[in-house]
Amino acid sequence: MKNVILILTLLFFTITNAQTHRFIYELQYKYDSTDTDYQKVNMVLDIGPAEVKFYGRDLLISDSLNKKFGNMNNKIVDMTGQIVKRKLNSTENENFINIKFGYYTFKTNDKIDWKISNETKNVQDYTLQKATAKFGGRNWTAWFNKEIPFNEGPFKFRGLPGLIFELKDDKNNFIYNLVKSQKIEGKPATGDFVESNFGDKAIPVSEKQIRKLLLEYYNDPFAFERTNFSKNNSDLHINIGGREIHSLEELNAETKNMQSIIKKYYNPLELDKAVHYPN
């Protein structure tokens, strides 16, 4: 953990019907597993009396701005693929994901078998204990604190006898560090950015359908734009990423470029569920 003072206002841990415990984690992750640079984002873990949610803090900030100014103009797309919610003490997660213009939800059961070590370390006056597990085709090391009686942690990582403070895989593709906590009165309203994406309600699908949608997007990432073209309409043009496309030939070239980008920056946390894009 970095030299960050943890603001853990955790003197009382009794969860009431009107209280949510919010924990902020810094997540460092790689879009491309061969990169040396990391993307850094803050993620929110909300633990309520009946439900747990994990999502990007930027989503929360955008929603707050929308509510402050009475609009839905601040819309962002989660790039981590780590929006989940579950019932307290459950291993069944409801996952949320953006694919092109659609927002989808699907359920998975994600039990993690931890091996708890006797190894401990002290971090800023907290005694952390080590645990390891294999999950999602990766090997993980977690450091948790028994004095904080929540068996939760980042993303789907739960089931230890205490809150997870630090977590990373052995390839250092994903690194989580707890940086802050606070108590929230009432149940945080996430309907506009977790259960829906700023106006687009999540469409329930199966995990198999998600893989199908991702493959369809890869095979033709500009399918919608393609419908606007006709070989007999030479005057038509569309804009993709600030570049004007005037023909199907140019669109096909842009499609190949996008496919290479999709493959290069595809580094899913759960490798065992990865989509295998064609060569």
pLDDT at 226: 83
Q: How far apart are the first and last CA of the chain?
A: 39
Residue 9's pLDDT is 42
Those residues with Cβ within 8 angstroms of residue 257's Cβ, 6 or more apart along the chain or in another chain: none
| Local confidence band at 6 (pLDDT 50, 70, 90 cut-offs) | very low
Segment 100-134, tens digit of pLDDT: 889 999 999 999 999 999 999 999 889 999 999 99
Estimate to the nearest angstrom the gap between the alpha carbon of 122 and the chain centroid: 29
Q: What is the mean pLDDT of residues 238-254?
A: 85
Spatial contact of 173 and 73, defined as CB atoms under 8 Å apart: no
Predicted pLDDT at 236: 67
Q: How far apart are CA 254 and CA 267, in angstroms?
A: 22
pLDDT at position 179: 96
Contact (CB, 8 A) for 6 and 178: yes
b/e code 63-89 from CB counts within 10 Å (16+ = b): beebeeeeeeebeeebebbbbbbbeee
Give the model's confidence band at 5: pLDDT under 50 very low, under 70 low, under 90 confident, else very high.
very low
Rounded CA-CA distance 134/271 in Å is 11
pLDDT one-digit tens code per residue, 89-99? 999 999 999 99
> How far is Cα 108 from Cα 248, in angstroms, rounded to an integer?
40
pLDDT of 2 > 70? The answer is: no
Domain boundaries, the chain: 19-197, 206-273
SS3 134: strand
Residue 104 in 3-state DSSP? strand
Tens-digit pLDDT profile for residues 8-36 = 544 344 444 568 999 999 999 999 999 99
For residue 44, what is the enclosing H or E element? Answer: strand 39-47
Which residue type sits at 61? I
CATH domain 19-197 topology: outer membrane lipoprotein receptor (LolB), chain A (2.50.20)
Mean pLDDT, rounded, of the chain: 90
| Strand intervals (E) in 102-258 | 102-109, 115-123, 126-135, 138-145, 163-169, 174-185, 196-197, 200-201, 203-204, 238-240, 243-245
pLDDT tens by residue, 171-227: 999 999 999 999 998 889 999 999 999 989 999 999 999 999 999 999 999 988 888
CA–CA dist 101, 128 (Å, integer): 42
**Helices of type H across 11-55:** none
**Cα 200 to Cα 198: distance, rounded to the nearest angstrom:** 6
Residue 231 has pLDDT above 60, yes or no: no
Per residue in 151-167, pLDDT (tens digit) is 999 999 999 999 999 99
Cα angle at 138 between 260 and 168, to 5 degrees? 100
Count CB neighbours of 60 within 10 A: 19
pLDDT of residue 232: 52
3-state secondary structure of 143: strand
